[in-house]
Structure 1
Amino acid sequence: MSGLSYGHLDFCDLEVLLLVSELGSIRKASRDLGIGQSSVTRRVQKIEDALGVSLFERSTTGVRLTNAGWGFVGNVRTLASNLKAAAETAEAAGIGGNGQLRIGLIASLSRGSLRKIVSGFVNRYPDVEITFTESRRGELMTLLSHRMLDVVFAAGKPPSEHGDMLLTVEEGLYFAVSRHHHLAEKQHVSWAEVEEMEFVVSTEEPGPEIKDYILRKISNLGRQAKIRQHRLDREGIMNLVGLGLGVSLVAEHWCGVRYPNVKFIPIMGNQTAERIPFSLTWRPENDNPALRRFLSLAREHAKAKAVPS
């Protein structure tokens, strides 16, 4: 612990004092702390000077507590124990007492950034209860605004009025095609190669966003996109792809799930993999300690991925 002081006594100095008394040696305390013997001696003398009494009897074989030292060290040990208990109680309140995290998402947890963040969070804070809600973006943002969700993970960079935002990753995009499709053997595919094909997308999230993305890309090629929407979930759309009833578009995190007869092929544009951003959004006034820990872990992940915040 550092920075905590009472009068002229610094708590770091008191911790050194406790270690010297336990080991009965300034030399051994110096070795355990990884600092010089002179530094340990100065810290002990600083406390003795502040108190105006000698706490140790020094000899060539080590140190022994004086009568005054026994009483003082006993009180310091009690103080240190109480302070540690108080810190653990506060931490438990942040992890257990408020140990619920509610995540909204328009994504798959089968692979990708969010899966890694959630997995790391569960390992680090196993007592936190996590619940997930998958729905349309508008509903998720409404739940976020009314504090019924703590954080939302979705594609893109949401408007600032929804709250604070952290860009966690830029994921690759893939075409989903039947394994019998003539493109299935290719290592990567461009938009020009699929511009005349029929796409199948869901009417449910993220289907509408996928449809808009396809329309923009095909329109840039001067074509009219062929898109058929179905009232099916993600698995249902992939089953249509596997049956050869169309191709579809997925982000990398979907690729962790294997669907019958479906292959995912990376999209390349201008000799680089096509990518889209995914971000976390939360309300800045939300003081849920579990949320703060989750965001801290997400920032570590984003930094490791070199994604600008």
Structure 2
Amino acid sequence: MQCLSVLDLKAIETVAETGSFRKSALRLGIGQPAISRRVARVEDRIGVSLFERRRSGARLTLAGRVFVGRARGILNDLSAAWDMARSVGEAKTGELRIGLIASLSRGTLRCVIEEFLLGHPDVHLSFTEAERGELLSLLNHREIDVFIATGTNSLAIGDTMVLDEERTYLAVPSNSHLAVKTQLTWTDVEDETYLVSKREAGQDIHDYIHRRISDLGKPVSLQWHRLGHEGIMTLVGLGLGISLIADHWRGVSYPNVTFVRIGEADERIPFSLVWRPENDNPALRRFLSLARVHAKGAASSLSEVSQNRDPWP
């Protein structure tokens, strides 16, 4: 037996609701003969009459009532499926999975997420904080949609976009002589002990500090710790050393820790979004479109920055 079309089911449902082939045709905007042919074709296929035809209209038979009840459920389910697919396709619903190395306490990424949430309140956001290597693996296996990390387009695993270039700061003990300054040079801190995490962007921080201090002809005093950012900040507050951070980390305060600007005006750290170009998640596409707007705004505010900046790897 041939399958029935949606129009067949809709025609039968409308005749049942209006009690008339003529009124059904008017509601659906098609000719009455077309309605009659569709109903008759269905009746022929299933071998029973669905309506009693009278001059006063059409009335459902017992078989017709059973058929229309089931048909209405099918049409309702189909309508719900259409609405859901359209909603997901327009990023009104769905899920966006974001990987993090950076903080969300302040900065451009936080602004993008806040604006995305306002425009897409029914899209579920999930976050994963991990090291770069793990985030790359999660991205390749489609377990996250996008992540942000230090550096520019040096990852040959997908598309990237520089979201912002942030100023560099040193986290220093608030009771130290460094905390009273508003700006530090690398010469001011060439003899300090630097605390670096083995997690997150620790290797990037190590390389950056090493270049800066080595340029001064000095050996670098650096200590590695198996701690996250909060743990490193705790050690700074205890007076065990200082640590390099980007501007977005300054949205969180820590006991006995002060953030002081380090380096020249053009000394900034690039942060990039990374995603797979074949990922067709509509929520990701909307998120990236919004990120591009913010990235352009951030770039325009850096128009005076020197081209000889020293980005992190």
Is the pair's TM-score, using the shorter chain for normalization, greater than 0.5? yes
| Aligned-partner SS, 2:280 | coil
Work out which of the residue numbers 167, 177, 184 in structure 2 matches 1:182.
177
Number of the residue aligned with 1:306: 299
Matched, 1:282 2:292: no
Tell me if structure 1 keeps the 8 A contact 2:153–2:160.
yes
Give the aligned residue type for 1:161.
A
Q: Give CA-to-partner distance per residue, 1:42-64, whole Å, 9 cap, x none.
A: xxxxxxxxxxxxxxxxxxxxxxx
Counterparts of 2:155 and 2:239, CA distance in 1: 41
1:194-246 C-alpha deviation (Å, 9 max, x unpaired): 01110111111122221111111111111111001111221111011111110
Q: Provide structure 1 residue ranges, at least 5 long, that are not aligned to the other structure.
A: 1-71, 76-84
- 2:91–2:286 contact (8 Å) kept in structure 1: no
Check the 8 A contact 1:176/1:241 in 2, yes or no: yes
User: Structure 1 length normalisation: TM-score?
Assistant: 0.68
Give the SS at the match of 1:278: strand
* 1:23 alignment counterpart: none
Q: Distance in 2 between matches of 1:248 and 1:287?
A: 39
User: In the alignment, is residue 208 of structure 1 matched against residue 203 of structure 2?
Assistant: yes
Specify the alignment match of 1:47 in structure 2: none
Structure 1 Cα separation of the partners of residues 147 and 157 of structure 2: 10
2:97 corresponds to 1:109: no
Unaligned runs of 5+ residues in structure 2 are 1-25, 30-79, 303-313
Give, in whole Å, the separation in 1 of the partners of 2:198 and 2:88: 42
Report Cα offsets for 1:283-304 as digits up to 9, x if no partner. Answer: 1000000000000110111112
Counterparts in 2 of 1:216 and 1:227: CA distance versus 1, 3 Å: same
Q: What's the Cα RMSD here?
A: 2.5
User: Is structure 2 residue 263 aligned with structure 1 residue 268?
Assistant: yes
Identity %: 54
TM-score by length of 2: 0.68
Alignment of 1:86-165 (within 5 A): 91-95=86-90, 99-165=94-160
**Residue 219 (str. 1) matches residue 204 (str. 2):** no
Distance in 1 (alpha carbons) for counterparts of 2:286 and 2:83? 16
User: How many Å separate the matches in 2 of 1:127 and 1:268?
Assistant: 43
Q: Hey, what's the Cα distance between the residues in 1 that align with 2:229 and 2:222?
A: 16
Determine the C-alpha separation between the residues in 2 that align with 1:86 and 1:233: 44
